[in-house]
Chain A
Amino acid sequence: MRGTRPYVTGAIALAAAAVIFVMPFVFVALQAVKSKSEASRLDFELPEQWLFWDNLVAVFKARDYQLALAYFNSTLITVISVTILILLSAMVGYVMQRRKTAWNKVAFIALFMGLMMPPAVVPTIGLLQEIGLFKTMTGMILIQVAYNLSFSILLYRSFISTIPRDLDEAALIDGAKPRQIFFRVVLPLLKPVTVTNIVVQSIAIFNDFTNPLYYLPGKENVTVQLTLYNFQSMYSSQYNLLFMNILLVTIPPLIVFIFFNRQIVAGMTAGGVKG
Chain B
Amino acid sequence: MTETRPRSRKSPYPLWFFIPAAVIYGVLFLFPTVSSLWYSLTRWDLSTAEFIGLENFQQFFSEPFLVKGLVNTLIYAVTTSGLKTVCGLLLAVLLTSNIFARGFLRTLVFFPVLVSTIGIGITFTVMMHPTKGIINVTLETLGIPGPGWLTNPALALFSVALVDVWKGVGLATLIFIAGLAAISPDYYEAARIDGATRLQQFFRITLPLVRPATVIVVTLSLIGGLRSFDLIWAMTRGGPGFSSDVIASVIYKQYQAGFYGLSTAGNVILFALIAVIILPFTLWFNRRGVEE
Which A residues contact B (CB, under 8 angstroms)? 6-7, 9-11, 13-14, 17-18, 20-22, 24-25, 27-28, 41-44, 88-89, 91-92, 94-95, 98-99, 101, 103, 107, 110, 113-127, 129, 142-143, 145-147, 149, 153, 168, 172, 178-179, 181-182, 203, 207, 209-210, 213-214, 224-225, 228-229, 232, 239, 242-243, 246, 249-250, 253-254, 257, 261, 265, 268-269, 272-274
Contact = CB atoms under 8 A, between A and B. Distances in A.
21 contacts: A24-B166, A25-B111, A28-B123, A42-B134, A91-B18, A95-B14, A95-B17, A122-B36, A122-B39, A122-B46, A127-B28, A127-B32, A178-B14, A207-B116, A210-B229, A214-B252, A214-B255, A228-B116, A246-B119, A253-B114, A254-B114
A126 B134 contact: no
A24 B122 CA distance: 11
Given A127-B32, A178-B14, A273-B213, 17 more contacts: A14-B105, A21-B108, A21-B109, A21-B112, A27-B123, A28-B119, A95-B15, A103-B18, A118-B248, A118-B270, A124-B32, A143-B28, A145-B24, A149-B25, A182-B17, A209-B234, A242-B122
Contacts of A123: 32-33, 35-36, 39, 264
Leading 8 A-B pairs by shortest Cβ distance: A10-B100, A120-B36, A10-B99, A99-B13, A146-B28, A123-B32, A91-B17, A250-B115
A42 B123 contact: no
B133 A42 contact: yes
Contacts of A20: 166
B154 interface: no
A78 B194 CA distance: 55
Contacts of B264: 120, 122-123
A30 B253 CA distance: 35
Q: Which label, helix, strand, loop or mixed, suits the secondary structure of the A interface?
A: helix
Interface of B: 10-15, 17-18, 20-22, 24-25, 27-33, 35-36, 39, 44, 46, 94, 97-102, 104-105, 107-112, 114-120, 122-124, 126-127, 129, 132-134, 137, 166, 174-175, 178-179, 181-182, 212-213, 216, 223, 227, 229-230, 233-234, 248, 251-252, 255, 260, 263-264, 267-268, 270-271, 274-275, 278
